[in-house]
A and B are shown apart, each in its own frame.
Chain A
Amino acid sequence: MILAFDTLLFLEKFILIVVVILAALGIALYTTFAERKVAGIIQDRRGPNRAGPFGLLQPLADGIKMIMKEEIIPLTSNKWLFILGPNLAMITAMMTSAVIPWGNKVELFGRVIDLQIADINIGVLYIFGVVSMGVYGIMIGGWASNNKFSLLAAIRGASQIISYELAMGLSLIALLMYTGSLSMKTIVEQQMSTGVWNFFVQPLGFLLFIVCAFAECNRTPFDLPEAENELNFGYHQEYSSMKLGFYLFAEYINMIISSAVMATLYFGGYDIPFVNEAALSASWGVNIVAVLGTLTLLAKIVFFLFVFMWVRWTIPRFRYDQLMDLGWKKMIPLALINMLITGAVILWLNK
């Protein structure tokens, strides 16, 4: 039995996957720290500052605490599904990273390596598919806990995510009408060649998308599945130790990935603003420009992460009927109007 495949390609992709996942975990670790620091600054206090210089070792201390806690599986819960829930949340959070182009090509050891795990021609749809799977982590975990509050939170979360997925899809359709491609790489390259980021073409679409991204990540003001004053602790009430850690961590990874998606679709991805990459790489070499591009993408991601935190500590939580009202009666009609206008303008310009 001969398995014919490109060993080097396999190795290259494997290393890329490991690097992306480790980087996502590392950034997520420090996003929890940044969140508490930003909260501290916004609320005019210091934030964590005891562990290490500037409190930099705080996430490490939190992580060790998480792992050391006792692992409790409630007797009346459904054991397999109870364990499956946080795993699913984590896996779906990670899977989206496969289609995001993290940078331009680099040349190493005589090979041209794409800094993207898979350039599939349905990249945007893939993201959409994985996002729609994300709801299972919450639903299964909440149901398997065998706790009324968890079940209520799971049902809230599921209906919220389904409702906002629609508006998200509609706002993306308007973008796709303009780009004419579903491949993330092509979308970035288009923005690089024209020099105009899609945000300036689709401002309303971006606004709708970012609101939906907040809802999909269960971030305030849309964090109703874990509304502690109504539901104790939400869908992860029965969870302890690292299983709880997975749920909390998945939220941060979701934030990072959705920031990366926003940066890629609307803000040029790894495009360095006001710089002609092709000319620069001729003089500086391909690798340096690729690294600079990746750093630019990271800077954009960090900016969006800051926006996530900023909003969290500024805007209070919606009431549930307000949430549904916003989703169905405001976001979806706006997205449809945006789609109609985009279509009309494209038709008019083509004539």
Chain B
Amino acid sequence: MSITEILFWFLTALALGSALMVVFSKNPVHSVLWLIAVFFAISGHYILLNAQFLAVVNLIVYAGAIMVLFLFVIMLMNLNAETEPRKNRWLMYAGWLSGFLLMLVIVAALKEAETRDQLALMKGGDIGLIKHLGRVLFSEYVLPFEISSVLFLSAMVGAVVIGKKD
């Protein structure tokens, strides 16, 4: 086993284990922290694929900004086990059913994908480096890129409008 493989398996175990902990943690704050661990593991995978920019941006945007806001809201809501209201039993069944259906859809979608034959490019390929990524984004994909930035701007304006409403 090379170092890359060891790292790959370590990160995979970390990502899956943390993802399971997100679901099984009783305390929502713990769930958020495990989710941050998942993001770190996934960023590690990106670095193994030589996509450094994606790895760092994943950390900055998801682990550094969005999860902070999640944590913020959960801390302010003060969710404790004692204050949790009794939920309807049918709600629980519906949750199980929808989760099972989602798994079915994912299995069906991935069955035909034949990902097993395609090896990911490890440490080679430099499309993930910021120099190449920037060139592609601003030449070939400039229109979708700008449209998504307009989408962000409108979301921001919308948030301000909602926040202003008394």
Query: A151-B75, A155-B72, A182-B130 given as contacts; is B60 within 8 A of A125 (CB)?
Result: yes
Number of B residues contacting the other chain (C-beta, 8 Å)? 25
Q: Are A140 and B57 in contact (CB under 8 A)?
A: no
Number of interface residues of A (CB under 8 A): 28
- Given A120-B52, A143-B29, A182-B130, check contact A132 B72 (CB 8 Å): no
> How far apart are the CA atoms of A125 and B64 in the complex, in Å?
12
B130 in contact with A121 (CB, 8 Å): yes
User: How close is B60's CB to chain A, nearest CB, in angstroms?
Assistant: 5
Indicate whether A162 sits within 8 Å of B53 (C-beta atoms), given known contacts A132-B59, A139-B71, A182-B130: no
Chain A 102-128: CB-based contact to B (< 8 A → 1; otherwise 0): 000000000000000000111001101
Is the C-beta of A158 less than 8 angstroms from some C-beta in chain B? yes
Tell me whether A132 and B75 are in contact (CB under 8 A).
Answer: no
CB contact between A133 and one of B53, B59, B130 (< 8 Å): that residue: B59
Taking chain B's interface residues, is the majority helix, strand, or loop, or is none over half, making it mixed? helix
Q: Of the candidates A81, A125, A162, which one forms a contact with B68 in the assembled complex, judged by CB atoms under 8 Å apart? A: A162
Secondary structure of the A contact surface, majority rule = helix
Chain A residues positioned under 8 Å from B131 (CB to CB): 121
A122 & B29 in contact (Cβ 8 Å cutoff):
no
Q: 7 more A-B contacts (CB under 8 A) besides A122-B56, A136-B36?
A: A122-B52, A126-B56, A128-B56, A132-B64, A139-B75, A155-B75, A159-B72
Q: What are 23 A-B contacts with C-beta separation under 8 Å?
A: A4-B2, A4-B3, A5-B3, A81-B29, A121-B52, A121-B129, A125-B53, A125-B56, A125-B57, A125-B130, A126-B56, A128-B56, A128-B60, A132-B60, A132-B63, A132-B64, A133-B63, A143-B29, A143-B75, A155-B72, A158-B68, A159-B72, A165-B65
